[in-house]
A and B are shown apart, each in its own frame.
Chain A
Amino acid sequence: MLRKLILLIILVAVLHPYSHAQGYWVFFTDKKDCTFNPYEYFDAKAIERRVIHGLSLYDSTDFPLNAQYVQTVAAIADSTGFESRWFNALEVTASTEQLSQIKALPFVSGIEAMQCSAMPASYTHDDPEFDSILSPFLKQLLEWQTLRLGGDAFKAAGLNGKGVRIAVFDGGYPSLLTNSAFRHLVWSNRIIKTWDFIRNKENVYGYNPHGTLVLSCLTGVYDEQALGLASGAEYLLARTELKGEPYREEKNWLAAMEWADKNGAQIINSSVGYTYHRYFKDEMDGQTSMVSRAANMAARKGMLVVNAAGNEAGDEWQMLCTPADADSVLTVGGIDPVTGYHMEFSSYGPTSDKRMKPNVCAFADVVAFGPKGVENVQGTSFSCPLVAGFAACVLQAFPNTKCMDLLHMIEKSGDLYPYFDYAHGFGVPQASRILDTLTEPSPTLAFVKGENNLTVIIRDFKYHTDEPSRQLLLYYNIMDEQGVIEEFNVIMVYQSRALVIPLNKYPSGKRLNIFFRGYTSTYTF
């Protein structure tokens, strides 16, 4: 009997979280004696980006890892893999005993377990419609998904992302080379480089069709109609996602980031995210996850990371994913093209440390082009490339713009700006706000303070039954003294007496912010 008890205890010890080999990051203390030539390592566009941003070409975060350190760790661990220059870290597979030995090395500053299980941010409630012939609604949607961002203004100004290099991280790009929607891209050799980080090969033209669909919302053209705004850009295509393979995807994302940096990417489109499989809500603080730290590092190196907010609003999680929580990431939420406001599955902000997210939004119900033809698909996966394409057009128009300035320009072009909430961000970016100096809208809102209530009046408002419903949307939020939103709402108004709020509902100091048809007003209780 005692033997059997011991057998069970051994079984548990063997299955202890750290007793068996699994993936880890081993962080080194320094990069002593490492040599680096930026002109040999970087693509010309990467050097150009650093010059624009005033960044040193000899930043130690770009130096390779110390070869001696790598060799020493490799001799102890089961295996080693990716060497992250940005974090001075080595990917290892090791058991608990091996980790103890590695941790004792004088040049090892720390060890972290790897994460995994990214979720692509596409959302399908039923099978996507595959067809080569679009219904009238989908034909309209196809045109509208770029028009809503002011695609016609960019087109009139000759802007299509030409000369801008965009890196796309996804699960694969099947049919891309033969798909008519990408003919213009393939024939003009604007796929600069590709790399499959799962198999360590160049060929990415297979596997998960999610990447093809996402890319079509950047650069696809169907029946002479652009599905996205960056049909003239250059592309770096990375395959980073393989659902179900543990511990690799976060590493692949980081490796792809460094590869994109090296190869001159100016914008990164990432339509994936990590949520409850690896993290708790209070870890969505832009600092805990490796990928959010990598995204912040990418911004420091001058790349704008555009990430989907996630599709968890209908789940218990509800909140945005990581790296959408990173401070320097342009996080894109989703709106419904029919109703004009928040799509029910689009994840909400703020971050767990109360930072404003998402930054902007775009349609999360779009027409995309996949291996089987044109499809109607849903998800913030597809809002993300629409905004990434927008960013490419802005960068084409203003090529010396630094990435954080570009982010703020896009925020300020939001059609709700300066109004903000945790579902829509600053609204849908508008090309007209980038290209033209707009006149200030005339004040349309007035506050009337009664004895018990505060009434919000919309001046000169007349309800017409044939008015598009999105013209009747009124947004309002309650903000505390620190600028943190406590409550936000969207209502449809049918009369000029738009809102009545009891005065005793909110304590003194709280602010009511209201947006209606381009005009924002604030009342302080």
Chain B
Amino acid sequence: MQRLLITVLLVFLFGKISAQQVLLNRNVLADTIKPHWGQNMRHFAHPYIGLGIMAGPSSTTGGKILYGVSPNLEIGVRYKLKIARHYALGCNLSYNLYSYKLKQNTLKTLPDTVVHKAERLLFSNLTLGIFYRVSLGRTGNYIGKFVDLGMYGDWVHYADHYTRDKLTDGSTARLHVSGLNYINDIQYGFFGHFGISRFVFTVKYRMANLFPDNKNYPELPRWTFGMQLGLHKIN
């Protein structure tokens, strides 16, 4: 064991003395290779998260919602292809959760006239959006200010109905109905973004109807306003 330790020590010392210590090494040729990926380079992709609220009127009084507690949660990936100094095309692939808290009163007709303590319709969508981006002002390799205008398509892969009621004995009854058969599976609409670096203000408008025409249900609010946070480095 002692011999091993001495050998290790000698090897270390010999190595230290004979080796030149590299303090700085720069390969200039590698440095000058122009990257294709970067915030304002030809390609850029980044994840993002978003939170929005529903806005605008329902089509009739039978489908009113409680504003402010009807959120839209989004998580996705955005890809951008720069086509000119100020212009880019892009697409988003995301998961959207739309939660509409239905207003409970005697005028309610969606999905029925039964008045509950609380009632919610939840839509879980996979979304594909495409957009055209205009960058404002001149920037280097940096996401500055921009405006996007685009369209999206949703596949409603499930829709749920939740109710909560207070029973006469004081207990709470919760009902969860999934696989609703009165929903249109495909949704679509258009959207706009105004962004500064990773902070994006979003506006969405749903063009498609949530419910088939033969159901005669009132349409829920079509507008969503929200914020997104790009999960990329701020240069």
A487–B140 touching, CB < 8 Å:
no
Whether A276 contacts B142 in the complex (CB less than 8 A), given A9-B149, A339-B23, comes out as yes
**Cα–Cα distance between A339 and B24 once the two chains are bound (Å):** 12
Give per-residue flags for B31-60: 1 if the beta carbon is below 8 A from chain A beta carbons, else 0.
110100010100000000000000000000
Give per-residue flags for B133-165: 1 if the beta carbon is below 8 A from chain A beta carbons, else 0.
011111111101001010000000000000000
Q: Which residues of B contact A283 (CB under 8 A)?
A: 140
Is B22 on the interface with A (CB-CB < 8 A)? yes
**Cα–Cα distance between A8 and B194 once the two chains are bound (Å):** 11
Is B21 on the interface with A (CB-CB < 8 A)? yes
A498–B149 touching, CB < 8 Å:
no
**Cα–Cα distance between A279 and B139 once the two chains are bound (Å):** 6
B235–A487 touching, CB < 8 Å:
no
Q: Which residues of B contact A486 (CB under 8 A)?
A: 27-29
Tell me the chain A residues, 459-489 only, with Cβ under 8 Å from chain B. Answer: 473-474, 484-489
Interchain Cβ contacts within 8 Å, total number: 114
Is A275 on the interface with B (CB-CB < 8 A)? yes
**Cα–Cα distance between A316 and B37 once the two chains are bound (Å):** 12
Is B116 on the interface with A (CB-CB < 8 A)? no
Whether A278 contacts B139 in the complex (CB less than 8 A), given A16-B134, A486-B27, comes out as yes
Q: Which residues of B contact A9 (CB under 8 A)?
A: 149
Is A493 on the interface with B (CB-CB < 8 A)? yes
Give per-residue flags for A1-23: 1 if the beta carbon is below 8 A from chain B beta carbons, else 0.
10011001101100111000010
Is A499 on the interface with B (CB-CB < 8 A)? yes
B28–A494 touching, CB < 8 Å:
no
Is B207 on the interface with A (CB-CB < 8 A)? yes
Is B79 on the interface with A (CB-CB < 8 A)? no
Is B190 on the interface with A (CB-CB < 8 A)? yes
Most buried by A among B34, B86, B142: B142
Is A505 on the interface with B (CB-CB < 8 A)? no
Contact for B22 among A22, A281, A282, A489, CB less than 8 A: A489
Q: Which residues of A contact B194 (CB under 8 A)?
A: 15
**Cα–Cα distance between A350 and B24 once the two chains are bound (Å):** 16
Query: In whole Å, how far is A336's beta carbon from the nearest beta carbon of chain B?
Result: 10
Is B205 on the interface with A (CB-CB < 8 A)? yes
Query: In whole Å, how far is A288's beta carbon from the nearest beta carbon of chain B?
Result: 11
Q: Which residues of A contact B18 (CB under 8 A)?
A: 494-495
A280–B136 touching, CB < 8 Å:
no
Is B97 on the interface with A (CB-CB < 8 A)? no
Q: Which partner residue on chain B sits nearest A12 by CB separation?
A: B149
Q: Which residues of A contact B203 (CB under 8 A)?
A: 8
Is A180 on the interface with B (CB-CB < 8 A)? no
Q: Which residues of B contact A99 (CB under 8 A)?
A: none
A282–B86 touching, CB < 8 Å:
no
Whether A11 contacts B192 in the complex (CB less than 8 A), given A277-B140, A492-B21, A498-B20, comes out as yes
B20–A12 touching, CB < 8 Å:
no
**Cα–Cα distance between A409 and B138 once the two chains are bound (Å):** 38
Is B17 on the interface with A (CB-CB < 8 A)? yes
Q: Which partner residue on chain B sits nearest A283 by CB separation?
A: B140
Is B26 on the interface with A (CB-CB < 8 A)? yes
B31–A489 touching, CB < 8 Å:
no
Q: Which residues of A contact B86 (CB under 8 A)?
A: 17
Contact for B135 among A17, A489, A491, CB less than 8 A: A17
Is B106 on the interface with A (CB-CB < 8 A)? no
Q: Which residues of A contact B23 (CB under 8 A)?
A: 339, 341, 473, 490-492
Is B181 on the interface with A (CB-CB < 8 A)? no
Query: In whole Å, how far is B188's beta carbon from the nearest beta carbon of chain A?
Result: 12
Whether A492 contacts B20 in the complex (CB less than 8 A), given A113-B137, A318-B31, A487-B29, comes out as yes
Most buried by B among A113, A279, A319: A279
A12–B147 touching, CB < 8 Å:
yes
B142–A341 touching, CB < 8 Å:
no
Is A348 on the interface with B (CB-CB < 8 A)? yes
A15–B20 touching, CB < 8 Å:
no
Is B25 on the interface with A (CB-CB < 8 A)? yes
Q: Which residues of B contact A492 (CB under 8 A)?
A: 20-21, 23
Q: Which residues of A contact B25 (CB under 8 A)?
A: 487, 489
Query: In whole Å, how far is B201's beta carbon from the nearest beta carbon of chain A?
Result: 11
**Cα–Cα distance between A457 and B209 once the two chains are bound (Å):** 82
Tell me the chain A residues, 15-43 only, with Cβ under 8 Å from chain B. Answer: 15-17, 22
Whether A4 contacts B205 in the complex (CB less than 8 A), given A12-B192, A278-B140, A348-B31, comes out as yes
**Cα–Cα distance between A115 and B142 once the two chains are bound (Å):** 14
Q: Which residues of B contact A115 (CB under 8 A)?
A: 138
B138–A12 touching, CB < 8 Å:
no
Query: In whole Å, how far is A48's beta carbon from the nearest beta carbon of chain B?
Result: 39
Query: In whole Å, how far is B175's beta carbon from the nearest beta carbon of chain A?
Result: 34
A12–B29 touching, CB < 8 Å:
no
A278–B138 touching, CB < 8 Å:
yes
A316–B24 touching, CB < 8 Å:
no
Query: In whole Å, how far is B40's beta carbon from the nearest beta carbon of chain A?
Result: 8
Q: Which partner residue on chain A sits nearest B27 by CB separation?
A: A487
Whether A491 contacts B31 in the complex (CB less than 8 A), given A12-B192, A15-B136, comes out as no
Query: In whole Å, how far is A490's beta carbon from the nearest beta carbon of chain B?
Result: 4
Q: Which residues of B contact A4 (CB under 8 A)?
A: 205
**Cα–Cα distance between A22 and B34 once the two chains are bound (Å):** 31
Q: Which residues of B contact A210 (CB under 8 A)?
A: none
**Cα–Cα distance between A485 and B19 once the two chains are bound (Å):** 25
B21–A276 touching, CB < 8 Å:
no
**Cα–Cα distance between A493 and B17 once the two chains are bound (Å):** 9
B20–A494 touching, CB < 8 Å:
yes
Give per-residue flags for A271-291: 1 if the beta carbon is below 8 A from chain B beta carbons, else 0.
000011111111100000000
19 contacts between A and B (CB under 8 A): A5-B190, A5-B205, A12-B134, A16-B136, A17-B134, A17-B136, A276-B142, A278-B140, A279-B140, A281-B34, A316-B235, A317-B141, A339-B23, A423-B24, A473-B23, A486-B28, A490-B22, A490-B23, A491-B20
Instruction: List the 7 closest A-B pairs by CB distance, nearest first.
Output: A276-B140, A490-B24, A492-B21, A15-B147, A279-B140, A490-B23, A491-B20
Given A8-B203, A348-B26, A492-B23, 9 new contacts (CB under 8 A): A8-B192, A16-B147, A22-B137, A277-B139, A278-B138, A281-B34, A317-B141, A485-B28, A491-B23
